Chains A and B, each alone.
Chain A
Amino acid sequence: MTFKQLETAQIEELELMLEDEFPEFVRTFISHSDNLISLMKEQLSVQDNDAFIIGIHSLKGSCRNIGAELLANSCLEVELLARKESILSVDPELSTICQEFTELKETLSKLARI
């Protein structure tokens, strides 16, 4: 099953709801998610299992909220891995996630014209 990078219906609804605050929102999403990813890499390196899970879970959730299905599911896969096995099984660089996030950033910025 393939996922769209950005679910149009969802993001459009958000745009409609947030109106003038939409660009501000996109900026917040991008910077907050950036922070989260950096934090998660740190947590992986010190092997803080619990904190990592909270982080990946949070990123997954906010991706769902904006309709970023592809990234959300990648997060889900990593989250399940961390829960069922351990964070040792997780890619310490979070390559897939970082890659998809970079692409998402571009799409969102264009959408919000920032």
Chain B
Amino acid sequence: MSESQQLKILITEDNIADCLIINKLVKDQGYRTVIAHNGLEAIESYKKEKPDIILMDALMPQMDGFEAAKRIKLLVGEDFVPIIFLTSLSDDISLVSCLEAGGDDFLSKPYNSIVIAAKINAFKRMVVLHRTVQEQRDEITRRNEYLLQEQKIAKRVFDNVAHLGCLGASNIKHLLSPMSVFNGDVLLASKKPSGGMIVFLGDFTGHGLPAAIGAMPVAEIFYGMVAKGFGVETILEEINKKLYTILPVGFFCCACIIDMDYSWQRIKLWNGGLMDVLLKDNKGQVLSYPSSHLPLGILSPDKFSSECVNGDMKVGERIYLFSDGIVDLRDKHGNEFELDGFAEFLLENKKPDEIFEHVIDQDRLSAEANAENNDDVTFVEIMMIADDVISVKHELVENSEQHGARDWVMSFEMFDHTIRDFNPIPLMLHVTMEVPELRAFNNDVCMILSELITNGVDHGILGLDSNLKKTANGFQEYYNLRNERLNQLSGESLHISLRHKPDKYGGGLIIRVVDTGSGFDVSKLNNEFPEVSQLSGRGIPLLRTLCESVVYEGSGNTVEAVFRWKNTQDDTKL
């Protein structure tokens, strides 16, 4: 009803003279009028004309005002159409009947034009208010629906980016229970080219779309860098840098990243702002890795620390990560599921396979009991497994059918501080992976390069003795010494060259590494794998397993390794 469109008032009055009076009074105030002479006529009039306000005589033939008012109120439903009774009834009981019948007010005879004007005016304001509120409510509902639809579509895009990776691997169990269409939690997992896996759990501040939108660049960086062979420290630095740039001040991401090394049965972990990460070992002990850093996105790159904690994790041991929603979970009695409680539960529990299911039940119970107060819950269990080895037999495919980098040489030389600061492996993998057939051997090439470069640096240039690594203390000493010597480099260099030579059904990758160290007695080389309990010495025997040949030249500071392969039908990666 617009301002220019005046109120329409239904006048129900059986006395014709009275009707004339009230009609004139109301029209004089600028309103439109509709007339009815009894209750039945009033109901029909209402249906047809949909008046905004009704003036209703109480006593009428055919159907009185009370009955008509009751029926009309039913027709009105959730709209607001005030009914003012016109009456010369004076006793309280009758007046109460008016109100009980659904009347909103009454006017007594004789009619007073001032009183009538005031009452109609007051109700007019209420009618307008009521309509405005209804319209706004409907508008809000419409827009909300629209937003929800948009979110659903956005979620599909989000899922395509954030949920690639190996969350389906057999050693990971996870629970992601979002409160809204979008979750502030992001869970990423990816296999490393050199074997093993990196898992990232992030909990962005807030809920819904703003929280989830930060997850997309994080997912891109994570998967991209893991696939290229970057280490967790570098990945963290990149993610923090990105979030620091794009998130507004006051928004951040509590996160934990875990690098799982299946071959060495070790983990490397960084926890910034998440609840304690718990590890249950094979002896039944529970170790905790608490948050020791600020969440991601807060510190500028120069202040950010990607320092990780190292730990052992044997096959069969399990590690548990949570987002903070987990502490809001309640069981069906409304008791809180506390973190300390969970640690205790882990300690007492003798059936490791059931732990995860127990938490799922808690989550389900909590959702049923307490829908409003639940937060997003993410809960992950990762188990350490032995090396994942996949052997596949494929038909040989002729080289002439393949495209890409197929016959090339690349060399790279690093000096002094670059040796300390720069990891050339991602760069080299980037190039080798341009050879389509080599992509299936990402793992192997990475390991070979890694071993050769480490040997060249550690033993060649730095002159470190791997015998130091025979004991746990020795390990620490070794790395301390390594850092010390890396900082003192002067006039040293490491030269790496890669040559790809294709043949009919495959090819060879020839890797030469030359270091400026003093070399060693090649005849003393350990070519056999050491005892299982020995902490080091697996390097060269491993190389010999993977490569067709490994030859040390000269005084031992030059090594040439050849990796040969046959083309396989399916060389799609990951």
A contact residues vs B (CB 8 Å cutoff): 10, 13-14, 17-18, 21, 25, 28-29, 32-33, 36, 51, 53-54, 57-62, 64-67
Contacts and interface: CB of A to CB of B under 8 A. Distances in A.
Contacts of B25: 17
Residue among B15, B20, B61, B109 with the highest chain A CB neighbour number at 10 A: B15
Contacts, number: 58
A17 B373 CA distance: 64
Given A17-B25, A25-B17, A32-B15, A64 B109 contact: yes
B24 A61 contact: no
Contact of A65 (B14, B18, B59, B61): B18
A61 B61 CA distance: 15
A57 B16 contact: no
Contacts of A21: 20, 24
Contact of A17 (B59, B88, B113): B113
Contact of A54 (B18, B60, B111): B60
B139 interface: no
A62 B24 contact: no
Nearest to A51: B61
| Chain A contact surface mostly | helix
Contacts of A14: 21
Nearest to A67: B110
The 4 lowest CB-CB distance pairs between A and B, nearest first, are A29-B17, A61-B88, A32-B16, A58-B15
Contacts of B15: 32, 36, 58-59, 61-62
A36 B24 CA distance: 22
A10 B111 CA distance: 10
10 contacts: A25-B20, A57-B59, A58-B15, A58-B18, A59-B15, A61-B18, A61-B109, A65-B17, A65-B109, A65-B111
A6 B110 CA distance: 13
Nearest to A27: B17
B61 A54 contact: yes
B28 interface: yes
A65 B60 contact: no
A66 B15 CA distance: 13
B24 A65 contact: no
Contact of A28 (B20, B61, B109, B110): B20
